[in-house]
């Protein structure tokens, strides 16, 4: 009978960033949809509600940005499960093998997923793109925000973003990427649930407590 050990996988900064990002994306999406909607509606939106929505959007935007920067830092100083290496699995032999086996499982060619303690190869690669989308949201968001203070610090730092599009182009990008992030979140919860059931390693509770149950000695 296979021996099971309890392993500390997700350190506290990883878990805090995860939940700050979750809450931020939820609040930024709700307030963002209101901001976009109010402006496109034929009637005048309530200035009072709009003011609050924009204020909350900007405060949470700063929290989200700090959280994303913190996670990038932790990818270089955290444990091996948090390392930047897990986000580029194709660069390593083991990672490529794991990606292939996970892909075969996801596409119903294999009945069981490959064993792995941290992120599987497919998940790690997907999170790299999710972080790229976070950076798109941060850059387009701050470039738009900087317009409120022309010539200020933020407008100097984020002026380069306008090379990629006009004001309306950036707004559209900001909005479309939000829907990509919402689609990712739905898929993310589904696959976490699936893996929890299939692998029986407590992956869902691990994002609260940090511990997973894994076969003894497995890496
Ligand atoms: C996942 C993160 C985010 C989501 C889902 C989100 C969503 C949205 C949406 C849907 C809009 C309305 C777009 C429109 O129709 O014009 C919006 C507007 C805006 N967002 Fe974000 N946003 C996020 C992050 C950020 C960040 C990091 C900033 C940085 C400050 C930011 C700043 C702004 C600004 C300045 C506007 C325009 C507000 C206005 O015109 O009054 N957003 N956001």
The CA distance from 99 to 107, in Å, is 12
Q: Please enumerate in sequence order all residues whose Cβ is within 8 A of that of 185, keeping only pairs 6 or more positions apart, or say none.
A: 22, 25
pTM for the predicted model, two decimal places: 0.92
Q: How is residue 149 written in tokens? A: 């203070």
Choose the residue to mutate in 58, 71, 139, 144 for probing ligand 1, maximizing ligand atoms within 8 Å of C-beta: 144
The CATH code belonging to domain 4-215 is 1.20.950.20
Per-residue pLDDT reduced to its tens digit, 87-139: 999 999 999 999 999 999 989 999 888 888 889 899 999 999 999 999 999 99
| Distance from Cα 145 to the centre of ligand 1, integer Å | 8
Contact between 144 and 177 under an 8 Å Cβ cutoff? The reply is no
Q: What distance in angstroms lies between residue 180's CA and the mean position of ligand 1's atoms?
A: 14
CA of 154 to the centre of ligand 1 (A): 15
Q: Going residue by residue through the chain, which has 219 residues, state the pLDDT in tens, using 9 for 90 and above.
A: 678 889 999 999 999 999 999 999 999 999 999 998 866 654 566 677 888 999 999 999 999 999 999 999 999 999 999 999 999 999 999 999 999 999 999 899 998 888 888 898 999 999 999 999 999 999 999 999 999 888 899 999 999 999 999 999 999 999 999 999 999 999 999 989 988 988 888 899 999 999 999 888 777
Q: Which atom of ligand 1 is nearest to the CA of 148?
A: 35
Which sequence spans correspond to the domains of the chain?
Answer: 4-215
Ligand 1 atom closest to Cα of 178?
Answer: 5
Is 137's C-beta closer than 6 angstroms to any atom of ligand 1? yes
CB 188 near ligand 1, within 6 Å: no
136-157 burial code (b ≥16 CB/10 A, e <16): bbbbbbbbebbeeeeeeeebee
CB 120 within 8 A of CB 96: no
Q: Which residue in the block uniquely carries the two structure tokens 């897990």?
A: 86
Q: What is the DSSP string of 85-96?
A: GGG-GGGSHHHH
The CA 57 to ligand 1 mean position distance, Å, reads 7
Residue with tokens 């350190």: 11
139 lines ligand 1 (CB under 6 A): no
In which region does residue 214 sit, left (phi positive, over 0), alpha (psi from -120 to 50) or beta (all else)?
A: beta
Separation of CA 84 and ligand 1 centre (Å):
27
């Amino acid at each position: 009978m296979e021996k099971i050990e309890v392993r500390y996988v997700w350190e506290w900064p990883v878990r805090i960033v995860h939940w700050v990002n979750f809450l931020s994306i939820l609040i930024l999406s709700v307030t963002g949809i209101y901001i976009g909607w109010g402006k496109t509606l034929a009637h005048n939106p309530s200035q009072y509600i709009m003011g609050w929505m924009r204020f909350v959007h900007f405060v949470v935007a700063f929290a989200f940005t700090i959280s994303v920067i913190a996670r990038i830092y932790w990818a270089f100083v955290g444990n091996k499960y948090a390392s930047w290496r897990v986000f580029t699995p194709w660069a390593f032999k083991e990672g490529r093998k794991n990606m292939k086996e996970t892909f075969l499982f996801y596409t119903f060619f294999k009945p069981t997923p490959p064993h792995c303690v941290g992120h599987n190869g497919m998940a790690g690669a997907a999170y790299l793109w999710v972080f790229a989308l976070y950076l798109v949201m941060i850059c387009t968001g701050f470039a738009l925000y900087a317009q409120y203070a022309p010539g200020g610090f933020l407008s100097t730092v984020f002026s380069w973003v306008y090379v990629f599009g006009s004001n309306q182009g950036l707004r559209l990008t900001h909005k479309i990427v939000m829907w990509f992030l919402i689609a990712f979140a739905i898929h993310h919860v589904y696959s976490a649930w699936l893996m929890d059931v299939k692998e029986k390693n407590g992956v869902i509770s691990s994002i609260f407590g940090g511990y997973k149950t894994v076969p003894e000695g497995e890496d």
